[in-house]
Amino acid sequence: MLLLDGRLVPGTGGAFETINPATEEVLGTAADAAPADMDRAIDAARRAFDETGWATDHAFRARCLRQLRDGLRRRADELRDLTIREVGAPRFLTFGAQLDAPVDDLGWFADLVESYAWERDLGRAEPMGMASHRRVRREAAGVVGAVTPWNFPHQINLAKLGPALAAGNTVVLKPAPDTPWCAAVLGEVIAEETDIPAGVVNVVTSSDHGLGAQLTRDPRVDLVSFTGSTTTGREVMASAAGTLKRVFLELGGKSAFIVLDDADLRAACSYAAFSGVAHAGQGCAITTRILVPRERYAEAAEITAGTLAKLGVGDPQDDRTICGPVISARQRERIEGYLELAVEEGGSFACGGGRPEGRDKGFWIEPTLITGLTNEARAAREEIFGPVLVLLPHDGDDDAVRIANDSPYGLSGAVHGGDVERARAVARRLRTGTVSVNGGVWYSADVPFGGYKQSGIGREMGVAGFEEYLETKAIAEGL
């Protein structure tokens, strides 16, 4: 069902199928919204913003966010199963970023509503000789259009809803067509288990990407918060320009995992392999270029390939699975195109390179390590979004930084080294929004996440992420 103006309703476009990527089984159908439904959703969000006290009642919003968190927690077992079946996410990830972590993070945003300094007193001054008392207020931006992808649906949907609602906005959420159920269940919990007023959140599932575009064009929407590919991000920005909307973009990446020459090569490469193919590599911030000292390239290839081969692929329902299926046949084709390209560009596979044996149903790609390429190759530069890693040699810290930064993207990165001061110095030189040093985890509600360069504009999570959803107003009183 769609959530439109506080009611759970079918889509006027009918229904569309959602598929288990591990088995190709049709799980069922989701409401298929038509443009008229999107129009109603935007209208409801506009009215809820303009005509209710939602934007100014901070205590009420904090309470509603906690209700949403608690309602989702009550359905955690059902949601875990749904996420594994609809997204193909390995079970172990649902105890973290695929479900439990983003649900818990709603509480952090509720606390922030209560502790945030909504108004700052700048005191008296006499600008140009006129005595004035100045105050600066932060206010909600208005109606937020949230457009999200399929790879971490709960994390991304909630990383938009949490701060947008905490800030006092109303929201129209348009999830990806591949994972409609993960979003529909949010609509249900909001309608059935929270006091969030009608129209404050609208959930519009649809098989039609055009509804996302509709949201970016509509003059009643004040801000578009988009997560997805860099190509679509460009379209969103161009389309939002027509009404000069604020845009917030979380886009693609091709992040580097730098192994310095004083690192424990075995530990670092094993970790790079594991983290690189978790959820079949379908994460924007995954480090997919592994940079190792040139003189130890062959050894690094052997360790990384050995770990990948051992990980293999597995049923996402199994606790031990790290690498499950990819989301769709279309995505598998795209990845296979890059595997062919890598060979044409002179690369070879230290392991993987195709579909795993014995899996006739579902969308599977073997964990793959490409060797023998330079950073100029397209397979080394472009986002593949599958369990495919590229091993590149470097000639010391400066060269590693140069290669890491030689990318149109700037989302994330990792540095492993024996001397933490030195590793930290390398981390500071990376032109990326997040960096992990020696396995440090930056993912958390209080840590801003986002991209430099073509990986995006703005930050999600943390106080910086919350403030993306605020306007700033200065009020000066004459004395």
182 binds ligand NAD (CB under 6 A): no
Three-class SS of residue 79? helix
283/287 Cα distance (integer angstroms): 9
Q: Is 407 in the site for ligand NAD (CB under 6 A)?
A: no
**Residue 150 binds to ligand NAD (criterion: CB under 6 A):** yes
From residue 419 to residue 458, the character string flagging contacts with ligand NAD as x (rule: CB under 6 A) and all else as - is --------------------------------x----x--
Q: Which is nearer to ligand NAD, 270 or 455 (CB)?
A: 455
- Cβ burial, residue 51 (10 Å; 0-12/13-18/19+): exposed
Q: How many helices (H) and strands (E) does the chain have?
A: 16, 22
33 binds ligand NAD (CB under 6 A): no
- Total residues at the site for ligand NAD (CB under 6 A)? 31
Residue 284: phi and psi, rounded to 5, are -65, -30
64, 182, 269, 284: which one is catalytic? 284
User: Catalytic site residue 64?
Assistant: no
- Of 250, 366, 460, 468, the catalytic one is 250
Give the shortest CB-212-to-ligand NAD separation in angstroms: 2
| SS3 of residue 69 by DSSP | helix
Task: Tell me which stretch binds ligand NAD (CB under 6 A): 38-46, 195-203, 207-215, 356-364.
Answer: 207-215
**67 lies in the site for ligand NAD, by CB under 6 A:** no
* Beta carbon of residue 116, minimum distance to ligand NAD (angstroms, whole number): 24
**Between helices 153-166 and 58-74, what is the axis angle to 10°?**
160
- The residue sitting closest to ligand NAD, measured at its beta carbon, is 212
Candidate list 212, 276, 367, 386; residue touching ligand NAD; CB under 6 A: 212
- Write each residue from 85 to 104 as x if it is in contact with ligand NAD (CB under 6 A), else as -, in one continuous string: --------------------
Question: CB within 8 A of 393, min separation 6: which ones?
Answer: 291, 292, 293, 294, 297
Residue placing its CB nearer to ligand NAD in the complex, 16 or 118: 16
Q: In what order do the strands lie in the sheet with 436-437?
A: 348-351, 368-371, 388-394, 287-293, 255-259, 413-416, 436-437
351 classed as catalytic: no
The CA–CA distances, whole Å, from 474 to 98, 110, 123, 284, 418 equal 40, 25, 12, 37, 50
Give dist(CA 42, CA 44) in Å, integer.
Answer: 5
- Nearest CB to ligand NAD, comparing residues 229 and 243: 229
Q: Which two tokens stand for residue 224?
A: 């578009």
Should residue 366 be labelled a site residue for ligand NAD when binding is judged by CB under 6 A?
no
Q: Can you give the binding site for ligand NAD, defined by CB under 6 A?
A: 147-152, 156, 174-177, 209, 212-213, 216, 227-229, 232, 235-236, 250-253, 284, 383, 385, 411, 451, 456
Residues labelled catalytic: 250, 284
